Amino acid sequence: MEPRQFLETAKTLADLELEEPDWRSAISRAYYASFLEARKLLDVMQFAVSRRKDTHQEVRKHFANSSQSLGRTIARELSILHPQRLNADYEMADSLVYNVKDAEFAIAKAKHIIDLLDRCRQTPGLYSSIQASIKYWLDSQAPSQ
């Protein structure tokens, strides 16, 4: 299965315009489409990203520490979408009500992130620059011997 298939699921849920659980699920699926695509790109770049609880932050940190503005934009956009996904999945308070517009916003944001990731994949110089700068950042984090 490809992560971006979750984006199609999100669109289907939002298009149904049924009720809040569908819109919350659409937000969650949209986030995961973009997050998993970002993690997949890091895997392709040969960066081992954990599959633990902090993997979401770890993916964002990798891109945030890129020397390219595209990488930092990916991190920032994921940072905007992640708390929306958390709230949609876990916050059931009556004061936090979701509607189809919230789902559509998350879908548009996720599509934008995936488009940025695709641009990185399809632009060799950009891809190698982001990869090299993330490697440099990771190497600088390693304990010196």
> What confidence tens digit (pLDDT) does each residue in 52-72 have?
888 999 999 999 999 899 999
Does the structure show a pLDDT above 70 at 95?
Answer: no
The C-alpha atoms of residue 71 and residue 89 are separated, in whole angstroms, by: 27
pLDDT for 75: 97
pLDDT for 141: 84
Strands (E), the chain: none
pLDDT for 145: 59
Q: What are the structural domains of the chain? A: 5-138 (1.20.120)
Q: What is the mean pLDDT of the chain?
A: 91
Contact 14, 104 (CB under 8 A): yes
Q: pTM for the whole thing? A: 0.91
